[in-house]
Amino acid sequence: LDFAIPVRRTLFGFNLFDPNRDTDSRRSDQSVVVPLSDDNPTEGYIQLSHGPAYGLDIVDGVGRMWLIASITAVILAAMIGLYISRHISAPLLALARVTSQMSEGDLTARAAIEGHDEVGMLARSFNEMAYRVEETILTLRRFVADAAHELHTPLTALRTNMELLADEERAEQRNLFIQRALAQVNRLETLTNDLLELSRLEAGSKPDRFASLNLSGVIRETSELYASQAEQTDIEFRIDLPAEDITIRASESQLRRALGNLLENAIKFTPPGGTVEVGLRKCESSNIELWVQDTGIGIPDDDLPQLFSRFHRGRNAFAYPGSGLGLAIVKAIADAHAGSVCAANRLPGTRFTLRLPA
């Protein structure tokens, strides 16, 4: 073991021939040392090693490779980040521009939908919201215009009668103008109440709680009120109800209103000698069908799609009194009960069908 210490010193960077002098700290020699001895003592050592330049070349090469790899990684990361940023921010900026257009009054502005990622889902949701906002505002504008038109006629007639009343000295004529004015006031009151009822129903407010309701009994009671009116105008009134009463969960006041509107229209548009029929049945789909059928003037086919719109009146209905809100109220009541209402011509006359869940 005499050569262990010199060998260890050589391997750890000490000059073999000058033990007091440390080698360069950057030295990376790779050495093999063999002792020379003739029995005893050791006469010397043979050392085979690479010079320090070889180790430094390796270190420099590795350093350059790491530097190039680091720069390349930074450039690639920047390029990928820029691409992702533009890929995400571009549609968001486009959506922001569309939102700005809508805020400036362009209700037709829509976002371009590309892809099925989160941004695409956001664009689709925005377009759905924009469509509903557009429909709501257009409906509100039509409502205001139609309401102004409907209110203008009775107000003008009321003003005319009041002016004539102020200038008239004869009692008979004054009474006539007073009666006309009262008729216009009643028309305004009815129109206002219908507008309030329709707005309440379309807003989704339900002050009347749904409860178990004997629909057959409601039809009997409501029909009695309109049967006498039909008889006074020489109209036959029929009731077709199943033997067993049908019970559903519904608002009694709302269904009475819907049935009353349908019966009132049927009697109004049916000439003397005609027939009005109201019926009820349970369908195979577990829905309930309530219908009112008449032998009246019918409805033009091109008026059927808009029949349940507020203030809509058929081309052949202008000779009859009305505001055009009755059927709109019926539809709103049907919607409030998760049901539907439709109309179809039955020559002669029309059949209205109100479908409600059982």
Which pLDDT score, from 0 to 100, does residue 204 have?
65
Which pLDDT score, from 0 to 100, does residue 11 have?
45
Residue 172: exposed, middle, or buried by beta-carbon count in 10 A (0-12, 13-18, 19+)? exposed
Which pLDDT score, from 0 to 100, does residue 295 have?
92
Which pLDDT score, from 0 to 100, does residue 46 have?
74
Hey, is 281 helix, strand or coil? strand
CA distances from 129 to 101, 108, 110, 246, 255 (A): 14, 12, 10, 40, 32
Joined together, the tokens standing for residue 340 give 């539907």
CA distances from 64 to 71, 74, 76, 78, 258 (A): 11, 15, 18, 21, 87
The candidate with the shortest Cα–Cα distance to 249, out of 208, 277, 193, is: 208
Which pLDDT score, from 0 to 100, does residue 26 have?
47
pTM of structure: 0.58
Task: Catalogue all structural domains in the chain, each as residue range(s) with its CATH number.
Answer: 4-50 (no CATH), 118-202 (1.10.287.130), 211-357 (3.30.565.10)
pLDDT in 10s for each residue of the chain, 358 residues? 444 445 444 444 444 444 444 444 444 455 677 777 666 666 677 776 655 555 667 778 888 888 899 999 999 988 888 877 777 777 778 888 888 888 888 888 888 777 777 778 888 888 888 888 888 788 777 777 777 766 777 788 788 878 887 777 777 788 888 888 888 788 788 777 877 777 777 766 555 678 898 999 999 999 988 998 898 889 999 999 998 999 999 888 889 999 999 999 999 889 999 999 999 998 877 789 999 999 988 888 888 888 888 777 777 676 677 777 888 889 989 998 889 999 998 878 899 999 998 7
Joined together, the tokens standing for residue 326 give 């009755």
